[in-house]
């Protein structure tokens, strides 16, 4: 599961220290946002994780069996692409028109209606796909707003609490995903799609109500005023300028006459991060297939493990469970230990490594598929190995990517960085749809093809990373890493 972090660097206003010198406390309104996020993530992952299985077993029953899996996979990845494209709209509305609170509240209502349509029209494609569209708009639209809205509740005297609140926020996300992945597939099996989609809908409506209950207590930062020196305006000025490049400069340096030096350097930093992020779609191309191709593979495996019978989509609980263990293990133990060796785990070393680890997970899945195609029955527990590898890759690529992006861009350009990060996920899912349409590979060969693609992307990222320039905005000039 993609790790959550603040979508924009949170502006912290000055405030007096806590009176009496007592222990700092979280702002009381934070509990509404944390509760909202836990319910919303349960609702999203509950419906998302059963979507492929539902399409194959229910919605596409009139489709020939051989075509159900590829068709379901295409629908799933188109939906996932939309979820990670609409944050561009949500972030824009929050920053320039509605503010974060109204954007979250109004799009959450749209989100809830979408869930309701899934439950009502589980046997009618038009209504069902309309519901998916509304969920994509709601889930994606609030994505860049909720985490940063948490940060908005803290003053300067409380900023030392931010790491703890974001840890709690992250855990609420994973708890929601973990519990939904365990229970919603069983609801689909025993009670049918109306209940299986209806329960996440009730949780989304609950999420919206919980968020609304805190309305009188939230600290709101108004939408940003017009910025004549934004990233896009700096880029536009550089492209329109006809002045010669200064010695040793880049094309963005042509904008220096129209914009302050720090804004031009900020735009250069964004472009530098985007060059690294250009390879990240190939990671998401693999990652989101755990909810499509891996589910389809699990349907052909032995699901009985002792007295318990798994659902094909149920093993997705492994991802959030492992994330809750691997993040403190890597950040608290592994990275500090490696920092004392000759191989210092910088972000630009971790991310390419994560791409290769992701590819290795698909090599394992290809081995499983080859064995299944030979007629051998395998337990679904064989998927544990690729799940572990893919989750480790998520920590190395996604979590590190967020850290890298925030460190590299100035405050007012962090929003555009997060837009590109979400867009990378959308592009990754689009790649899957295009490859599926081309129908070049099937079975184990398909998994090996994806593994080769991500390995090439990892090599490309490593080469680009070697030439990356770190920008330090508290100094006058950039310095090489």
The CATH number that applies at residue 281 is 1.20.1250.20
Does residue 320 fall inside a structural domain? yes
Longest dimension (CA), the chain: 74
pLDDT at 478 over 80: no
In terms of residue numbers, what domain contains 464?
Answer: 253-469
Q: Determine contact, residues 85/423, Cβ cutoff 8 Å.
A: yes
| Pair 35, 159 in one domain | yes
The pLDDT of residue 23 is 65
| Pair 33, 160 in one domain | yes
* 309: β partners: 304
Does residue 20 fall inside a structural domain? no
Tens digit of each residue's pLDDT (9 = 90 or more) over 388-447? 999 999 989 988 887 777 667 666 666 677 778 888 999 999 999 999 888 888 899 999
CA–CA separation, 436 vs 66, rounded Å? 14
The residue from 195, 214, 233 where one domain ends is 214
Phi and psi for 124 in degrees, rounded to 5? -130, 110
| Pair 197, 288 in one domain | no
Half-sphere exposure of residue 168: CA atoms within 13 angstroms, side-chain side = 14
Does residue 285 fall inside a structural domain? yes
| Pair 189, 278 in one domain | no
| Pair 171, 308 in one domain | no
Tens digit of each residue's pLDDT (9 = 90 or more) over 135-177? 999 999 998 788 778 777 877 677 667 666 766 777 788 898 9
Does residue 475 fall inside a structural domain? no
The residue from 160, 186, 214 where one domain ends is 214
**What's the whole-model pTM score?**
0.84
H-helix or E-strand containing 304? strand 304-305
Please tell me the total count of domains within the chain.
Answer: 2
| Pair 97, 152 in one domain | yes
The residue from 183, 214, 245 where one domain ends is 214
| Pair 318, 200 in one domain | no
Does residue 247 fall inside a structural domain? no
| Pair 308, 457 in one domain | yes
Does residue 10 fall inside a structural domain? no
| Pair 187, 294 in one domain | no
Neighbour-count burial for 265-287, b at 16+ CB within 10 Å, e otherwise: bbbbbbebbbebbbbbbbbbbbb
């Amino acid at each position: 599961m993609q790790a959550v972090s603040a979508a924009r660097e949170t502006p912290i206003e000055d405030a007096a220290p806590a009176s009496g010198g007592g222990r700092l406390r979280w702002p009381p309104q934070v509990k509404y946002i944390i509760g909202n996020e836990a319910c919303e993530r349960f609702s999203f992952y509950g419906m998302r994780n059963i979507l492929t299985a539902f399409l194959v077993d229910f919605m596409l029953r009139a489709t020939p069996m051989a075509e159900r899996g590829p068709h379901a996979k295409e629908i799933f990845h188109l939906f996932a692409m939309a979820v990670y494209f609409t944050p561009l709209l949500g972030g824009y509305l929050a920053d320039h028109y509605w503010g974060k609170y109204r954007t979250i509240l109004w799009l959450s209502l749209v989100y809830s209606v979408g869930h309701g349509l899934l439950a009502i029209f589980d046997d009618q494609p038009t209504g069902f796909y309309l519901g998916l569209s509304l969920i994509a708009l709601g889930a994606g639209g609030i994505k860049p707003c909720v985490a940063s809205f948490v940060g908005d509740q803290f003053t300067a005297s409380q900023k030392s609490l931010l790491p703890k609140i974001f840890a709690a926020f992250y855990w609420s996300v994973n708890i929601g995903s973990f519990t939904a992945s365990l229970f919603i597939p069983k609801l689909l099996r025993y009670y049918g799609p109306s209940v299986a989609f209806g329960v996440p809908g009730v949780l989304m409506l609950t999420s919206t109500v919980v968020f609304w209950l805190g309305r009188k207590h939230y600290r709101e930062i108004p939408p940003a005023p017009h910025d004549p020196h934004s990233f896009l305006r700096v880029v536009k000025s550089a492209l329109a300028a006809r002045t010669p490049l200064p010695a040793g400069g880049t094309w963005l340096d042509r904008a220096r006459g129209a914009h302050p030096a720090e804004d031009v350097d900020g735009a250069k930093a964004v472009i530098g991060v985007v060059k690294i992020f250009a390879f990240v779609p190939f990671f998401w191309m693999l990652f989101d297939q755990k909810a499509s191709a891996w589910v389809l593979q699990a349907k052909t495996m032995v699901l009985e493990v002792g007295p318990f019978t798994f659902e094909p989509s149920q093993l997705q609980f492994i991802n959030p469970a492992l994330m809750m263990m691997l993040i403190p293990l890597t950040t608290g133990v592994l990275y500090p230990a490696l920092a004392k060796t000759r191989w210092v785990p910088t972000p630009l070393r971790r991310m390419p490594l994560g791409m290769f680890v992701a590819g290795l997970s698909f090599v394992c899945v290809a081995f499983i598929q080859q064995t299944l195609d030979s007629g051998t029955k395998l337990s679904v527990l064989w998927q544990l190995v690729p799940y572990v590898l893919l989750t480790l890759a998520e920590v190395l690529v996604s979590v590190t990517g967020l850290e890298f992006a925030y460190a590299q861009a100035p405050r007012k350009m962090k929003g555009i960085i997060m837009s590109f990060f979400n867009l990378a996920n959308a592009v990754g899912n689009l790649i899957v749809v295009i490859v599926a349409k081309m129908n070049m590979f099937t079975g184990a060969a398909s998994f090996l093809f994806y593994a080769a693609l991500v390995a090439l992307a990892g090599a490309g990222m490593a080469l680009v990373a070697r030439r990356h320039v770190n920008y330090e905005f508290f100094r006058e000039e950039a310095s090489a890493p």
